[in-house]
Amino acid sequence: MSVRYPASFLVVLVTMAFSGLCSRSAGQVAPREAKQWVMPRTPDGHPDLQGNWTNKTITPFERAEGQGPVFSWDQVATLEGRADARVQRGAQASDPSRPPPRAGRSTGGYNNVYIDRGDRVAIVHGEPRSSLLTHPSDGRRPPFTHTGEQRIADYRAFRRQFGTYDNPENRPLGERCIMSFGSSAGPPMIPNSFYNNNYTIV
């Protein structure tokens, strides 16, 4: 007695067999060798830095006295753990029944939605650096020269001849939304431990 199979069953059987052959063939193809990354360059040969960047980090600008150039991994875990805990505290819901703040205190302006100070230590060549400043070798900012101190004094004397709000030009560029406020405006562009640490280079 002959056994008959419906046409649909034969179609499925042939399809499965063909798929198996294709899978085996695909598995036998040698993988392509990974291409070595090449730094993109501008037409004049300089490194092409176009793109979106951030320099937010909890690594301090200056190194603490007595601290070596590299954090231990235990120190990294402590610092990053504190940063994570701060974010978690800031994300907690506010108590609607809490009492009002004391007179003269800030009623609150920014919360975690607006703040992006960073939560990780900067890693360079696999090492967690203890400061962004690397020269001088102690990672600490040298004192101002006499010329530098005089320039600061001259600037402050110039500013004192104007009232705080006499002219819009007297207000900081960050307040006028012309540049970012603080150190992130640059040059050099240094993280300000608050926000606006993102850049688009075109």
Mean pLDDT for 12-21 is 44
Residue 24 banded pLDDT, cuts 50, 70, 90:
very low
**How many domains are there within the chain?**
2
- What pLDDT digit, counting tens, does each position of 86-112 carry? 989 888 888 899 888 788 777 777 778
Check whether residue 162 and residue 177 sit in a common domain: yes
Q: How far apart are CA 200 and CA 202, in angstroms?
A: 6
- Residue span of the structural domain in which 77 resides: 57-92+111-142
Element (H, E) at 124: strand 123-124
**Any domain includes 130:** yes
**Cβ atoms of 54 and 198 closer than 8 Å:** yes
Alpha helix (H) residue ranges in the chain: 7-27, 73-90, 146-160
- Report yes or no on 72 lying in a domain: yes
- Could you tell me if 70 and 117 lie in one domain? yes
User: pLDDT at position 33, please?
Assistant: 60
Neighbours of 197 (CB within 10 A): 22
> Are 147 and 137 within one domain?
no
For residues 128 and 86, membership in a common domain is answered with: yes
**Residue 83, in any domain of the structure:** yes
CB of 110 closer than 8 Å to CB of 47? no
Q: Is residue 191 part of a domain?
A: yes
Of 7-11, 79-83, 168-172, the range with the highest mean pLDDT is 79-83
Which position has the higher pLDDT, 150 or 32?
Answer: 150
If one counts every other C-beta atom within 10 angstroms of the C-beta of residue 138, the result is: 17
> How far, CA to CA in Å, does 190 sit from each of 88, 166, 195, 200?
25, 30, 11, 15
Question: Are residue 79 and residue 136 in the same domain, yes or no?
Answer: yes
Average of per-residue pLDDT across 43-71: 95
Whether residue 186 is predicted with pLDDT greater than 60 in this model: the reply is yes
Are residues 129 and 149 part of one domain? no
> What is the pTM assigned to this prediction?
0.68
Residue 187 pLDDT level (bands cut at 50, 70, 90): confident
Verify that 173 and 132 share a domain, yes or no. Answer: no
Whether residues 126 and 179 share a domain: the answer is no
pLDDT exceeds 80 at position 18: no
Residue 189 and residue 121 share a domain: no
In this structure, which amino acid lies at residue 163?
Answer: G
